[in-house]
């Protein structure tokens, strides 16, 4: 029995793709939901849209400071692992649920697999960077998504059982392509932001929303607002700067991808969206100092931008009018072929037998 552990929004697309292949290859698995995200549009909507198996257990950890949230995940997941002793704990991504589950399993000598291994920003102020480093160094089976991530692991001395396979998130993107593809007449600018460096900083968030409102005077700007970002907009009293922007709560996967398909430019700080836009040849502006997904800058459609109203406005205008095409070299094209989960499944099968 393999436990596929997830808890935050970006985990569920990956779990969907991997679990489809586990089913095809007759691998018995259960989903363990940590409850890190709990609003309908941050978790259950994906179970409904992808037809995911109901979680075996819901740990209901909810939000909280990092230590408290990770501690609750560990305490509750450990109890389950002690009782049930799964054959493997399979973790995805870089959220607190990833690291919490991996730590529990490693200490109980249960094999740990980590999908998205080796991703690094070089910035230890990002909670995800700590989660990635810890998880990679205690995992038994590692699945980097890009050649750069593979090299990062080698540079840290992690050389055993490392398999460069691509990203299940892209499998999911391609699997559902027909559902969200839509004919559209209007081109929009789509915005999704949630990184603490952007949204927890009053100056940065103010600069960003002012730029968005200026863009909205010329273009249709759709801003799907993450709960963290919404709280900060309220706390810093910034709604007044969003009066021209078409904003809403987070939307489900299919609706989000319909919007993405309509976008002349996507403004984001999400890693996953940088990858998805590059695969779909949609312009992407990442409000980040560095990208963990360097290949989307080198060969894709991502450009970095600082949280500065003038820079953001001018870069977004340029990006909106560009008809971009990624120029992935063959290796990246092969890795983004929609078969990453199949490769993972074959390796996992060989490992646990």
Active site residues: 194
58 binds ligand UD1 (CB under 6 A): no
Among 33, 194, 257, 343, binds ligand UD1 (CB under 6 A): 194
Contact status: 95 vs ligand UD1 (CB under 6 A):
yes
Place of tokens 């489900």: 252
- Closest approach of ligand UD1 to the CB of residue 292, in Å: 11
338 binds ligand UD1 per the rule CB under 6 A: no
CA atoms of 59 and 49, how far apart (whole Å): 22
Task: Show the binding pattern over residues 3-32: x = contacts ligand UD1 (CB under 6 A), - = does not.
Answer: -----xxx----------------------
> Encoding tokens for residue 54?
């109901």
Give the residue with the Cβ less far from ligand UD1, 127 or 338: 127
d(CA 179, CA 201): 37
| Residue from the set 23, 39, 75, 123 that interacts with ligand UD1 by CB under 6 A | 39
Binding characters for ligand UD1, 241-280, by CB under 6 A (x = yes): ----------------------------------------
CB nearer to ligand UD1: pick between 27 and 225: 225
Note whether 127 binds ligand UD1 by CB under 6 A: yes
**Nearest-angstrom CA–CA distance, 112 and 329:** 31
Q: Within 10 Å of residue 67's Cβ, how many Cβ atoms?
A: 9
Instruction: For the segment 61-90, give every residue that binds ligand UD1 (CB under 6 A).
Output: 63
Query: Measured between alpha carbons, how far is 332 from 321 in angstroms, rounded to an integer?
Result: 26
Note every long-range contact of 229-233, with CB atoms under 8 Å and residues 24 or more positions apart, other chains counting. Answer: 229/193, 229/194, 229/199, 229/205, 232/199, 232/200, 232/202, 232/205, 233/205, 233/209
Question: Angle at CA 195, nearest 5°, toward 192 and 198?
Answer: 90
Residue 300 contacts ligand UD1 per CB under 6 A: no
């Amino acid at each position: 029995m393999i436990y596929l552990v997830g808890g935050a929004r970006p985990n569920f697309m990956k779990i969907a793709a991997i679990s489809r292949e586990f089913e095809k290859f007759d691998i018995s698995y259960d989903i363990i939901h940590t409850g890190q995200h709990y609003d309908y549009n941050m978790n259950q909507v994906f179970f409904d849209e992808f037809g995911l198996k109901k979680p075996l257990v819901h740990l209901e950890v909810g939000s909280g400071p990092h230590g408290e949230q990770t501690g609750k995940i560990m305490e509750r997941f450990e109890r389950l692992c002690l009782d049930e002793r799964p054959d493997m704990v399979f973790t995805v991504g870089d959220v607190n649920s990833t690291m919490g589950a991996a730590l529990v399993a490693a200490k109980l000598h249960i094999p740990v697999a980590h999908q998205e291994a080796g991703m690094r920003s070089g910035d230890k102020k990002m909670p995800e960077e700590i989660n990635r480093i810890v998880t990679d160094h205690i995992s038994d089976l590692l699945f980097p998504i890009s050649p750069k991530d593979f090299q990062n692991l080698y540079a840290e001395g992690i050389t055993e059982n490392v398999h460069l396979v691509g990203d299940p998130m892209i499998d999911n993107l391609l699997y559902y392509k027909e559902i969200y593809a839509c004919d559209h007449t209007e081109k929009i600018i789509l915005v999704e932001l949630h990184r603490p460096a952007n949204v927890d900083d009053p100056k940065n968030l103010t600069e960003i929303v002012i730029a968005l409102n200026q863009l909205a005077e010329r273009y249709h700007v759709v801003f799907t607002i993450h709960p963290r970002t919404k709280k900060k907009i309220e706390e810093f009293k910034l709604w007044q700067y969003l009066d021209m922007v078409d904003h809403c709560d987070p939307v489900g996967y299919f609706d989000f991808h319909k919007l993405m398909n309509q976008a002349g430019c996507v403004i984001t700080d999400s890693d996953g969206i940088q990858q998805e836009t590059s695969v779909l040849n949609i312009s992407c502006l990442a409000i980040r100092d560095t990208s963990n997904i360097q290949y989307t800058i080198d060969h894709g459609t991502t450009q970095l931008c600082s949280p500065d109203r003038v820079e953001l406005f001018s870069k977004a205008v340029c990006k909106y009018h560009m008809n971009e095409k990624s120029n992935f070299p063959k290796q990246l094209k092969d890795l983004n072929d929609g078969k990453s989960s199949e490769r993972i499944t074959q390796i996992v099968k060989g490992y646990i037998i």
